[in-house]
């Protein structure tokens, strides 16, 4: 799994470590209304419904009859692998009178039909309405006009991605753009295992959580007791791919690694390689596994967090303790970020600040925040594009 950028990134990291070319952007400010205003929240939620978000490990729906039910930006979502082996996503809402069909948070295997608990309308694993009591009571609504509403869905990097708004065929190649080939090269599209998962509601604006993953200015302080010793202070190597970003955080071990044998694998061992898929999904590639999470808004001061560890087939034989240990290291650090995001939310509510300040090494946060501004603005003016990675 080699990569044309491995040597460039490696050499860039070495130059940054030695202080020759540390990457920096422009300082910026971020109005606190972005994180507090209920109207802004509503506009973001509407705009985000038109974009993909990771919703769960693809391994959970690997075989015909596999399914799971979740929620995304307030939309109940049902994933089902049909008897034709096609993975489909639906709005998990009955076409009769709107009850939730499959219980949210549940999953299973070998399912051939979904029965609405209210009046027993029954859908097959392809979403078609196949039966209902007293068929003759609905002379104006033929079964074939009452299938579950289908949503755009894709599998990539061991995850299922869904756009939670029905619409014309979604341009998935345009969405992943040039990063598609890069994440495919990591080898996570085969059947991956997902030994760990976590879901919870975070008491802060979703963007405060995501910002923490786009800078390393905080590492030596916020993560003093966990991962600070592994990393250089205040160094990032950032690249934009349309609205997506790749962030490489060099570890201290990189300087001692054998530079003559540079490979993507070695880069992953001696740095954190983070893929941020706009607007909500992070993948942290760690060589033998990926820890991914998505964070979406639930309210101005609440966000839905879902996180998964993904292990490719080639590494699946490693002992369970290895994955548990890595999952703990990951979450010990992320929990520190999430606790600080909650603290910031309370701080913002105090009125002490009219803006947040991004320093020159927090430029990736500013890029993200400005893309969200542009998305919300485009939604308001009808100028939204389904090709977020264009350019
Ligand atoms: S609402 Fe589903 S069967 Fe009536
Ligand atoms: Fe952090």
Position 273 confidence tier, pLDDT thresholds 50, 70, 90: very high
Position 383 confidence tier, pLDDT thresholds 50, 70, 90: low
Cα–Cα distance measured from residue 346 to residue 19, given in angstroms and rounded to the nearest whole number: 36
Ligand 1 touching residue 118 (CB < 6 A):
yes
What six digits make up the tokens of 173? 């190649």
Residue nearest to atom 3 of ligand 1 (CA): 119
Q: What is the pTM of this model?
A: 0.94
Tell me what the mean pLDDT of segment 284-296 comes to: 91
Tell me what the mean pLDDT of segment 341-357 comes to: 96
pLDDT in the model for residue 391: 33
Specify which residues 159 forms β-bridges with: 57, 156
Position 385 confidence tier, pLDDT thresholds 50, 70, 90: low
Q: Is the pLDDT of residue 222 over 70?
A: yes
Tell me what the mean pLDDT of segment 288-313 comes to: 94
pLDDT tens-digit map of 34-91: 999 999 999 999 999 999 999 999 999 999 999 999 999 999 999 999 999 999 999 9
194 vs 120, more confident:
120
Closest ligand, as measured to the CA of 93: 1
CB 296 within 8 A of CB 303: yes
Q: Is the pLDDT of residue 389 over 60?
A: no
Measuring CA to CA, which residue among 147, 205, 215, 238 is closest to residue 31? 205
Ligand 1 touching residue 96 (CB < 6 A):
yes
Position 317 confidence tier, pLDDT thresholds 50, 70, 90: confident
pLDDT tens-digit map of 124-167: 999 999 999 999 999 999 999 999 999 999 999 999 999 999 98
Position 109 confidence tier, pLDDT thresholds 50, 70, 90: very high
Cis peptide before 59 (omega within 30 of 0): no
- For ligand 2, the distance from its centroid to the CA atom of residue 83, given in whole angstroms, is 43
Measuring CA to CA, which residue among 148, 87, 137, 154 is closest to residue 114? 148
Q: Is the pLDDT of residue 7 over 90?
A: no
DSSP state of 100: B
Cα–Cα distance measured from residue 54 to residue 36, given in angstroms and rounded to the nearest whole number: 25
339 vs 269, more confident:
339
How confident is the prediction for the chain on average, in pLDDT?
A: 92
**% pLDDT > 90, the chain:** 75
Position 23 confidence tier, pLDDT thresholds 50, 70, 90: confident
Measuring CA to CA, which residue among 150, 1, 3, 159 is closest to residue 80? 150
Q: Which residue has the tokens 């979403």?
A: 127
Ligand 1 touching residue 131 (CB < 6 A):
no
Ligand 1 touching residue 121 (CB < 6 A):
yes
Could you tell me the sign of the dihedral formed by the alpha carbons of 263, 269, 270, 273, in that order?
A: positive
| Minimum-distance ligand 1 atom for the alpha carbon of 99 | 1
């Amino acid at each position: 799994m080699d990569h044309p950028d491995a040597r460039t990134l490696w050499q860039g990291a070495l130059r940054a470590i030695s202080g020759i070319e540390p990457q920096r952007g422009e300082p910026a400010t971020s109005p606190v209304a972005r994180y507090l205003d209920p109207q802004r929240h509503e506009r973001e939620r509407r705009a985000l419904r038109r974009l993909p978000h990771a919703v769960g490990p693809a391994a959970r729906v690997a075989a015909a009859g596999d399914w799971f039910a979740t929620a995304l930006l307030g939309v109940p979502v049902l994933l089902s692998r049909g008897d034709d082996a096609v993975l489909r996503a639906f709005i998990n809402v009955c076409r009769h009178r709107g009850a939730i069909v499959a219980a949210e948070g549940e999953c299973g295997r070998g399912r051939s039909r979904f029965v609405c608990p209210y009046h027993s309308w029954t859908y097959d694993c392809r979403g078609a309405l196949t039966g209902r009591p007293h068929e003759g009571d609905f002379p104006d609504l033929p079964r074939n006009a009452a299938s579950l509403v289908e949503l755009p869905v894709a599998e990539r990097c061991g995850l299922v991605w869904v756009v939670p708004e029905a619409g014309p065929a979604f341009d998935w190649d345009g969405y992943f753009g040039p990063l598609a080939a890069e994440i495919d090269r990591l080898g996570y599209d085969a059947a991956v295992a997902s030994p760990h998962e976590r879901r919870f509601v975070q008491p802060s604006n979703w963007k405060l959580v995501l910002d923490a993953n786009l800078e390393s200015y905080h590492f030596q302080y916020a993560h003093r007791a966990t991962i600070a010793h592994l990393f250089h202070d205040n160094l990032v190597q950032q690249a934009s791919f349309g609205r997506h970003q790749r962030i490489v955080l060099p570890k201290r071990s990189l300087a001692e690694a054998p530079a003559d044998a540079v490979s993507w694998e070695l880069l992953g061992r001696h740095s954190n390689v983070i893929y941020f898929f706009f607007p909500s999904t992070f993948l942290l590639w760690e060589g033998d596994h990926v820890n991914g999470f998505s964070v979406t808004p639930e309210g101005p001061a609440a966000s839905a967090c879902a996180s998964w560890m993904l292990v490719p087939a080639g590494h699946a034989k490693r002992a369970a303790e290895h994955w548990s240990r890595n999952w703990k290291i990951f979450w010990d650090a992320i929990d520190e970020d999430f606790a600080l995001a909650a603290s910031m939310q309370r701080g913002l509510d105090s009125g002490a600040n009219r803006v947040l300040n991004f320093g020159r090494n927090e430029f990736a946060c500013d890029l993200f925040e400005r893309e969200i501004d542009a998305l919300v603005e485009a939604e308001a003016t009808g100028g939204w594009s389904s090709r977020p990675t264009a350019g």
